[in-house]
Amino acid sequence: MEETVFTSAIEGMKHMKSEHDEILTKPFLDVCKMLLPILDKFGAAMVVVKSDINGNIARLDSKYTESPTRFNYLYALVQPELETKTAKNSSSCTNGLLWLTRAMDFLVELFRNLYQHRDWTMQQACIDSYGKTLKKWHGWIASSSFTVAIKLVPDRKKFMEVIASKGDTYADMVIFCESFSPVLAQIHKFLHSCGVDSMKA
């Protein structure tokens, strides 16, 4: 099997859950980290998204590092905050997980657009993904800055050339999206059950 930019994330997902279908903190964060090099290929257009993802990974990772045994499962980061009623604080792990999951929703939707709509420009793919995922949670300022950033996306053909490898990039994109989507849906379901899935920026 020839490797692609998605290979390590696809491999990482195999270790993301316990035998009881619980999401493990470290493997989940590692998979999110593995997407950052792909974001770099978008250049200036994804700088804000990348720094946002980076910040949220760092916040959750630093909490996990405090007690890897206690926070082995992803939801364990949220439980204490629900008990102390700090889950809705902007600096909470709950908030970090929520926004990290939303950013991942955006990326999955973007990759999905790229393989489903081969005739779309990169801008079309980004605008559509943004509209389906992050837009409803963003205020006017965040929304405006995103709209400006999307104008900076690279040409689709160039981007696909930059991330190309000997492997089948499109095929791996499909595998990645189909494997990661259910995990994100599971996190949303959990956050929704805790009443924290509708927080806005």
Per-residue pLDDT for 1 more than 90? no
Decide if pLDDT at 179 tops 80. yes
pLDDT at 2: 86
Instruction: Render 15-46 in DSSP notation, one character per residue.
Output: TSB-TTSPBBHHHHHHHHHHTHHHHHTTGGGG
Residues 153-174: tens digit of each pLDDT: 999 999 999 999 899 999 999 9
Per-residue model confidence as pLDDT tens digits over 63-118: 999 999 999 999 999 999 999 999 999 999 999 999 999 999 999 999 999 999 99
pLDDT classification of 123: cutoffs 50, 70, 90? very high
Q: Is the pTM of this model over 0.75?
A: yes
Rounded CA-CA distance 25/13 in Å is 12
* Mean pLDDT, residues 21-35: 97
**Using one digit for the tens of pLDDT, what is the confidence trace for 44-63?**
899 989 999 999 999 999 99
DSSP assignments along 47-65, one per residue: HHHHHHHHHHHHHHHHHHH
The secondary element (H helix, E strand) that includes residue 178 is helix 169-193
